[in-house]
Structure formats: structure tokens, C-alpha cells
Amino acid sequence: MSINFEQVTKRYHGVPVLNDVSLRIEPGEFFVLLGPSGSGKSTLLRIAAGLTDVHHGRISFHDRDVTHVRARDRGVGLVFQHYALFRHMTVGQNVEFALRVRGVKRRERARRRDQLLQLVSLEGYESRLPGQLSGGQQQRVAVARALAHEPQVLLLDEPFGALDAKIRVELRETIHQVQRRLGMTTILVTHDQEEAFALADRIGIMHNGRLLETGRPENLYRRPATRFVATFLGAANLFLGERGPTGLRLGRRFLATTPEARSPVVGHEVVTVVRPEDIEVTESEEQLVSGVLGVGQVTSADFGGGFERLRVKLEPEWEVLSAIGGASPAGLAARSPAAGRSPAAGADGADGSAPGTDTANSEGIEITRTSTEQAALALTPGKRVALGIRRFHMLPTPIASFRLLTTQPAMALALRRSPLLSQLVQSMQAPVLEAQDATEPDNALTGVGVIAGGRDSIPGIAAAVAQGRRWLLCVPPQAQLPRRMLIHCESEAARSETLRLVASVMRHLHAEATFVSVQSPMAPRSEATIAFRRLLDARAELQQSHGLDIRTEVHIGSAADWSAQLAASSEPMMAVLGLDGSPADLERTLATDFSALFDDASRCVVLLSCTGGSAPAQLAGVTDRLFESALVHALPGIRA
């Protein structure tokens, strides 16, 4: 039986704990919902079971709408973490309970009970009470009871959480075998990655009430789309790199010159994920077989049975940068990739990081070695080693870092402390970098530019776009954390880049998102039909390309009227604008159609995706020469 969730939203005290979750689970699939506590995974399971209602959306089983169908009529089996057995009933009576309330005859109940107890390896236990069983045996009884009425859907809410490691492994193998034998569609909720990898046909990662990514376990581990998934599914080292026409550069060295590592945009910042097992360790740089990352000192070496965990702190001159806010995994000053400027220090942290920013990588680069590698090269703290990268993955997120576009310390501190930027930095783990001098070569394309809102911000936005910036976040001083995101694109050309930016932000905010089409009341019917199709296209593109769902809305009137309504709203809002055109066109459009959003009284945050501006020619030339110089340094046999 297939299960389909469509834009499922659940709120508690007005705050969405599930936010437009859309997901299809195929018949017979073992689907695992994985995420930290409070991510919404158990709420989604309870909604599927019929134990919790929804505020928006639809749930269907095999194309039958069950959104308002009672739990007992949905035909699901549910297993909780804490067994929930009837203590006064025997094992046999517990298993038969669902059949007895459905009026099944005694002989058929006994036959079904014996089958199920054999299925979960508890033959001969039917006369025992739950108190006479171990924890693992009690959970097996709970599984048998859930299967008694032959459900077509099995829902498991962290059923192994209260068990010790050995019993947990045995029980999950039992459940996996039962699920395969019966061919039931199964959803397992867990926060244990090992369980997810062992059981899942597909995994869905949840965070902040959203379904961030879905896919096969290996694909999610090797090719995650977000920082959160990269670091949640096992350990990961995240570095800030720079892509350009020549290839990918990390610190002083080119890591790759393959077509995948290149970008038509000069100096495009990118987050590079390197798993601990994908880092090569040798005694000298000359011995490395893979691409050189740098040379450093071992700070810790921990025995882990068949593997060893190392921490290595790179020497500062390699200039390898962390993509984690407030951390520098190589033990370096977190500087700008090309310019070498340090972030402005702020009151929130010695390195200017926002409060709550993850600093898990600050101790060094994490490395995992097999026992064979340990035998070939024994390492102890203090040993100097060379590191190479065997394999890496570049995240598709456009938000690698945030760049403050102000040189005023008080304004920079106010922007850092704004509720929105604090939330994004904490959740994304993205670094916040200080403003750069206009002559520095990576000034245009490094990070999402952050600017203070107000009447004077429009010329500043146009100037930043003229320098080559494509993404800008305008935060009014009085802005609160947005509860709604309204997205509007002025042209089809701006849509794809805008949705990329929207997807990156949606994953980190408890805000309901709506794609808005602004239509004139005098527009002909054909134009209105085209606009409606574009709304559907935008929703489909966000689902297919980014795995997120969004609502759609048509505003009848002008863009100026729409923006005035947002600016006047008492509800905290974020307006996302996808604009296409030159810097002069952009300034004119903002001043004409969206000026209300930039009034001094407005509390609406504005996120801009600008696809028409380009970096000045001399800026591109400078960055190209840096790439050529770095390539010659990495490969001495090549001449520019």
C-alpha cells in the first residue's frame, strides 16, 4: 500500500512543527524518518496513524483519502518505544487483543497468535506475563500485536530506543525479516543513523519540521544537498572552497580541475564536504597519491577497534577555511578565501560567530583510518603529517557564508544579533564574514550579502549588484524572526536561482512559504492562465530539484500594492524577490514597485536573488590570474 503526504502542516501554539511536508512512500517500501529530537518525525508518524489531526494538507493510503478517518479504521499497525503492553494480560492475550475487539473467533485468534509468535521467535511464550520477559522480548510481543490484524502499513516509533545494543541489533533484524516476508509498507522513526542505514530502502531527513532530503542511504551519505544532512549522517569535514573556470581551489591548492568542479561564474564560493575516511595521511607531501590538502600536526589519536580516529591541525600557511560558523577545522584564522581578511570580532564571540554556532570542528580535521592503514603508519599526538583528499562532494547550496556589507561596527553588531541572522547562522552553521575593501578580488561573489534595511538601502543594493553580488539579505533594525515567506519572481529567467536560494532558507526557518503571482485585475484571461501555470511550474520545480513543497497564491493588483500590504502586516514576514536586469533596472524596480518594503517603518525582511548583474571585467581578470597562479603552484610542470 502506498502512502502519500501532501503539504501536511501541524501547528502547536501557532508555530508549525510540521511545515508543508510532502512525501510519497511506495508499496512494500521500508522508509526511515531520521532526524534529531523535535524535528517533527514522530508527529508525522502519529498523523499517519490517525492519532494526531492536521491543520493543513492531506494523507492518502493507496489513493484513498484518510485525513479524517479514525485510527482504528486506517488499517495500520503501530509499535511504540515503550512497548505499551497490557501488564495484566499474558503474551497470547496481548497478541490477540486487536483480533478480539474486531470480533474474530477464538480458533482463528489462536491460529493467528501462534503464527505471529513463531514469526518473532517467541514460540511457547504465550502463557507468560510481560513482567516475565526481557525488554527485547516485550518489544517482539508489541510487534506481533501490531501485526495481528494484518495491517497493510506498519508504523514504528523508535521501537529500539530503550534496548541495549545487542538486543537492538537482533530485534531490528527480526523486524526487517518480517517486513520483507509480509511485504508491508513500513515507516520507522529513529534518530539512530546505524539503524537507518541497516533497514531503509529510502531515508527521509527531517529538521525544523521540514523534510529536507529523501533518498537511498548511500546517496544521502555520499551526495548530501545540505550542511545539516552532511553533518547529521556521520562525521564530515566542511571547507569553504572557490570554484571558477579553471577548477576548485581549497586554500592554496587546486583540489580538482574536473568539469564538475568548474563554474562559469568567477570566484563562486562553495561548501566542500570531505568524509573522515576519504582523507589520506602520509609522512610527507611527496608520498600523497591523492590531491594535496595541506600539512599539519596530529592533535589526538583514538583507538576504535577496527578503525582509528585522528584529529589533525593544519599549519596556517595552507589557508584552508572552515565552512562552519565560529570554527576553523584546520586550526586557522577563518579568513576570506582570496583576500585573507579575518572576520570582525563581535560581542557574541571572540571570532565574531553568533551565539550557539557549532564549533565541533575547531579541534582540527577529523580523519578515520582502517587497521591496515594504522599498521602501515603508526601515529601519535605531535606527529607532523601530510593530508590528501581522495574524494569530496560540493554542496549545491548557494549560501556558503554571510558577508556583512557595512564597515560600521555598531551596525555590524546589530546585524549579527538580529533574530533572523542569528537563527540562520546557528542552524546552517555558516560563517559570518566582515565587509571587504572594494578592491579585494573576492569582494563580489563571496557569501550572501547582508545589509541593514531602511530608506537608504536601495542604492546600496544596486551598488552591491553592480559589483557582482547575486544574493542579498536586507534586515530592518526592528525585524523579528519571520513566520511567513512570500516569494515573487519578476521573470521566468529569475525563477530557478530564486528557488535555489529559497530552498536553502526554508530548511532553516519555522516559516510557512508561499509562491505569489501578482496579476493585474485588467489582465486578459489567457495571461491569467499562463500565470497560474507558472505557479504550478514553480511548485513542481521546488519539489523535483530541492525536495521541498510550497503553497501558491495569486494576488490581484500591482506589485506596489502587494509590497505595501507586506510592509504594513503585523505578522513577521520575509519577502523573497527574484529580479532580472541590470543594476540600474534593479534600483528602478525596487524604488517603483517595492519601495514600501524599504521604508524606515517596515519590519519586513527582504531576500533578493538578482540574476541580471555581472562582475566588472577587471574583477574577473584578477580572479582568473589568481586561479592561474594557484594552478601553476599546484602543478609545477604546467606553465601559464
Choose between 249 and 164: higher pLDDT.
249
Per-residue pLDDT tens for 461-479? 999 998 888 899 999 998 9
CA 323 to chain centre: 14
Q: Say what the pLDDT of residue 445 is.
A: 55
Which residues make Cβ contacts (< 8 Å) with residue 60, sequence separation at least 6?
Answer: 3, 4, 6, 66, 67
Does CATH place domain 228-394 in 3.20.20.150?
no
With cut-offs at 50, 70 and 90, classify the pLDDT of residue 530.
confident
For 478, the 3-state DSSP assignment is coil
CATH top class, domain 3-227: alpha beta
Per-residue pLDDT tens for 207-249? 989 999 999 999 999 999 888 899 899 899 999 888 877 788 8
Choose between 245 and 290: higher pLDDT.
290
For 489, the 3-state DSSP assignment is strand
Q: CB–CB of 226/400 below 8 Å? A: no
Phi, then psi, of 350 in degrees rounded to 5: -60, -30
Query: Whole-model pTM above 0.85?
Result: no
Question: From CA 620, how far away is CA 112, in angstroms rounded?
Answer: 73
Choose between 261 and 518: higher pLDDT.
518
Crossing angle between the packed helical segments 135-147 and 106-119, to the nearest 10 degrees: 130
Q: How far is CA 524 from CA 29, 527, 530, in A?
A: 47, 5, 10
Q: Say what the pLDDT of residue 473 is.
A: 95
For 177, the 3-state DSSP assignment is helix
Place of cell 485510527: 71
Q: For residue 346, is pLDDT > 90?
A: no
Q: Say what the pLDDT of residue 278 is.
A: 95
With cut-offs at 50, 70 and 90, classify the pLDDT of residue 619.
very low
Query: What average pLDDT does this structure show over 290-309?
Result: 90
3-state secondary structure 212-241: EEEECHHHHHHCCCCHHHHHHCCCCEEEEE
Q: Say what the pLDDT of residue 255 is.
A: 75
Looking at CATH, the fold of the domain delimited by 446-614 is given as Rossmann fold (3.40.50)
Q: For residue 319, is pLDDT > 60?
A: yes
Parallel, antiparallel, or unpaired: how do β-strands 432-433 and 402-404 relate?
parallel
**Nearest alpha carbon to residue 249 among 260, 241, 240:** 241
Which residues make Cβ contacts (< 8 Å) with residue 33, sequence separation at least 6?
Answer: 41, 44, 45, 187, 188, 189, 190, 203, 204, 206
Residue spans of the domains in the chain: they are 3-227, 228-394, 446-614
Roughly how many angstroms between the first and final C-alpha of the chain, as a whole number? 61
Question: From CA 445, how far away is CA 436, in angstroms rounded?
Answer: 11
Q: For residue 560, is pLDDT > 50?
A: yes
Query: What average pLDDT does this structure show over 525-534?
Result: 85
Buried b / exposed e across 602-624, counting CB within 10 Å, b at 16+?
Answer: bbbbbbbbbbbbbbeeebbebbb
Per-residue pLDDT tens for 177-218? 888 888 889 999 998 888 899 999 999 999 989 999 999 999
Q: Say what the pLDDT of residue 325 is.
A: 66
Q: Are 3-227 and 446-614 equal in CATH topology?
A: yes
Q: CB–CB of 12/18 below 8 Å? A: no
H or E stretch at 389? strand 384-389
With cut-offs at 50, 70 and 90, classify the pLDDT of residue 4.
very high
With cut-offs at 50, 70 and 90, classify the pLDDT of residue 50.
very high
Which residues make Cβ contacts (< 8 Å) with residue 515, sequence separation at least 6?
Answer: 487, 488, 535, 538, 539, 542, 550, 551, 552, 553
Q: Say what the pLDDT of residue 620 is.
A: 38
The string of DSSP codes covering 434-452 is: ----TTSTTTTTSSEEEEE
Q: Say what the pLDDT of residue 83 is.
A: 66
Q: Say what the pLDDT of residue 247 is.
A: 80
Q: Say what the pLDDT of residue 267 is.
A: 62
Place of cell 525544523: 208
The mean predicted confidence, pLDDT, of the chain is: 82
With cut-offs at 50, 70 and 90, classify the pLDDT of residue 120.
confident
Q: Say what the pLDDT of residue 109 is.
A: 87
Angle value at C-alpha 625, between 623 and 627, nearest 5 degrees: 70
H or E stretch at 498? helix 495-506
Question: From CA 344, how far away is CA 407, in angstroms rounded?
Answer: 10
Query: What average pLDDT does this structure show over 131-149?
Result: 83
Query: What average pLDDT does this structure show over 395-407?
Result: 86
Q: For residue 39, is pLDDT > 60?
A: yes
Q: For residue 99, is pLDDT > 70?
A: yes
Place of cell 502499513: 153
Q: For residue 585, is pLDDT > 50?
A: yes
Q: Which amino acid is at 89?
A: M
Long-range Cβ pairs for the range 194-199 (8 Å, 24+): 195/32, 195/160, 195/168, 196/32, 196/34, 197/221, 198/172, 199/30, 199/32, 199/172, 199/175
